[in-house]
């Protein structure tokens, strides 16, 4: 990958900057095609909400966005949603009943789906989460393409149970490190997540907090007293 391309990736942070770089790229063709890699998509969760917001808003800005994800919560194949494409491949999600959403992809179907999607000439791959085989296997399927990879990390080490914690630690030190080695730049949504990614070997980590849609979430009147709302885990 060229040095200029790597420099561009260092600044792929806010949506406005992504939009600017994609439209003003100095390559022979404008960088408009984005590929998102996601463990689960229609699954209800914070990461899914962020990924869907990124895809729909970038599509609304005129970019050609395709989300490549698993068929755990929807049938395999391709669908159109809010101006962007979703492509799904076969996978299992056996740990979901234990509170750990970790899809295990069918390697053959994953490789075939990713390769056929890449034939559409994407210019950038945005990966959500280094923790997943659904991030690693597609990246390995793309290694010859020399596409810039931006990794978006949403979670630190999560305390589940003694048995699952051992599995999670092993996974992060193998799958996680492998994904981090393939990423040109890593974005973390908090400082402690950035520190965890650095511990696992991330060379370049930048903290970018999740935003709030102030047009959708705004108080109609100022509160008469200090009010606090906590959203998060209780255990």
Instruction: Give the pLDDT confidence score for residue 169 in this predicted structure.
Output: 96
- For 100-184, strand residue ranges (E) read 104-105, 124-128, 149-153
Instruction: Give the pLDDT confidence score for residue 37 in this predicted structure.
Output: 66
3 state SS of 114: helix
Q: How confident is the model at residue 45 (pLDDT cuts 50, 70, 90)?
A: confident
Q: Which residues contact 137 (CB under 8 A, 6 or more apart)?
A: 105, 107, 110, 111, 114
Instruction: Give the pLDDT confidence score for residue 233 in this predicted structure.
Output: 66
Tell me: pLDDT of 50 over 50: yes
Instruction: Give the pLDDT confidence score for residue 2 in this predicted structure.
Output: 41
CB 34 within 8 A of CB 63: yes
Domain boundaries in the chain? 3-207
What class has domain 3-207?
Answer: alpha beta
Q: How confident is the model at residue 8 (pLDDT cuts 50, 70, 90)?
A: very low
15: its two tokens = 């949506």
Helix (H) or strand (E) holding 34, with range, is strand 33-37
Give the bridge partners for 66, in sequence order. Answer: 35, 85
6: its two tokens = 């790597």
CB 89 within 8 A of CB 67: no
Number of H-type helices and E-type strands within the chain: 8, 10
Higher pLDDT, 38 or 157: 157
Residues listed for the chain? 235
């Amino acid at each position: 990958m060229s040095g200029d391309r790597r420099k561009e990736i260092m600044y792929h942070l806010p949506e406005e900057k992504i939009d600017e770089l994609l439209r003003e790229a100095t390559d022979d063709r404008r960088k408009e095609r984005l590929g998102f890699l996601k463990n689960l998509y229609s699954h209800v969760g914070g990461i899914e909400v962020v990924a869907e917001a990124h895809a729909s808003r970038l599509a609304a800005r005129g970019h050609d966005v395709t989300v490549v994800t698993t068929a755990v919560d929807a049938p395999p194949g391709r669908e159109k949603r809010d101006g962007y494409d979703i492509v799904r491949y076969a996978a299992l999600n056996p740990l979901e009943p234990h509170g750990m959403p970790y899809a295990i992809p069918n390697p053959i179907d994953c490789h075939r789906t990713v390769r056929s999607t890449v034939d559409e000439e994407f210019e950038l791959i945005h990966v959500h989460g280094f923790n997943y085989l659904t991030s690693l296997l597609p990246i390995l399927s793309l290694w010859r393409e020399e596409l810039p990879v931006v990794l978006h990390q949403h979670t630190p080490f999560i305390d589940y149970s003694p048995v699952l914690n051992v599995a999670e630690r092993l996974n992060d030190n193998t799958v996680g490190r492998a994904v981090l080695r393939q990423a040109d730049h890593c974005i973390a949504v908090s400082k402690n997540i950035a520190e965890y990614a650095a511990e696992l070997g991330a060379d370049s980590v930048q903290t970018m907090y999740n935003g709030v849609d102030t047009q959708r979430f705004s108080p109609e009147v100022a509160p008469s007293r200090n009010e606090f709302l906590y959203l998060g885990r209780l255990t």
